[in-house]
Structure 1
């Protein structure tokens, strides 16, 4: 039998290769476009858990403090803003005292470790390197535990527990009360603000 002058060739032509590469590039672009945002979102739950832990720690610390700088430090038998003799006035000679009208740290309370009552935390903000209540960096094996997190605190009187300050709803001279609203805002490294709140009662 005579041999064929043309041998059978197998493989791809140049046009088939170009079409294949183009199709692969389009498919890769689509997959990357779908998967890349998911990679960023995969770390969000970790940030949210850590933010929750940080906020809970801060709330526990704040709620463990006295209600007010004028609170009775002797067992809490007498509350600030309590009219003991029902004469309509709060007088020191009657053993009565008004709650602090101004929120924030008192004179001499220059850092968080000096805070002794709830409203000292009003306006408190910390970022970059977070510290605990003793002023020590929060780290494990030399690594910052809350690197790039930030925490801020707002405190105000809120007698009807509606998360609106008494000073907005009633005249300023009557804006104190027996309930303080505490709001802790934690900002995660990706810029998400997570808000946590609680109430502290005057007892």
Structure 2
């Protein structure tokens, strides 16, 4: 009896995968899965950070705006004219020392508060060359620190 080679060839080809191919596939999929899960874990851990940073920025900006809207010095009249330490008529000598009434810029030097649980807001005011550098630092949860600073001129 003669066998037809095309009929035999149809039944001799390999179906499935070898053990080596299966092991290589599992290793590749494991590496890809672990990288993907590490990325998801990192994003899940840090997903609240933008909210914390925005709140810290809002707190710093609000305090900075509040301070910069005040008079330069206790001896500066409302409207700022004549500025203290100026040569204008009626000008007084600048005080440049903080007091407790919080009605001018330098009164906020070393003022600290806690507007929300976990958030601390610290202010420093440094005077030099007729300018006051106001620095507001907010320390937020997760050791996030944000600092805003601006100069207030005597005018």
**Same fold judged by TM-score > 0.5?**
yes
Q: CA deviation at 1:30?
A: 6.2
Distance 1:30 1:118 in 2: 52
TM value normalised by structure 1: 0.55
Give the aligned partner of residue 120 of structure 2. 150
- Post-superposition Cα deviations, 1:127-146, rounded to whole Å, max 9, x if no partner, equal 2xx2xxxxxxxxxxxxxxx3
Q: 2:86 — aligned with what?
A: 82
Is it true that 1:181 corresponds to 2:151 in the alignment? no
1:166-188 Cα shifts (integer Å, max 9, x gaps) = xxxxxxxxxxx1x2111111111
Unaligned residue ranges in structure 1 (runs of 5+): 1-22, 85-93, 131-145, 160-176
Distance 2:34 2:140 in 1: 30
In the TM superposition, what is the alpha-carbon distance from 1:27 to its structure 2 partner? 8.4
Q: How many residues align?
A: 129
More helix by share: 2
TM-score, structure 2 normalization: 0.70
2:50 paired with 1:98? no
Q: Which of the pair has more CA radius of gyration?
A: 2
Given that 2:96 and 2:106 are in contact with CA atoms closer than 8 Å, whether structure 1 keeps it comes out as no
Structure 1 residue 200 and structure 2 residue 152: aligned?
A: yes
What's the CA shift for 1:32? 5.1
Which residues in structure 2 correspond to 1:56-135 (within 5 Å)?
56-73=61-78, 75-84=79-88, 95-102=90-97, 104=98, 106=99, 109=100, 114-127=101-114, 130=115
Determine the structure 2 residue equivalent to 1:52: 57
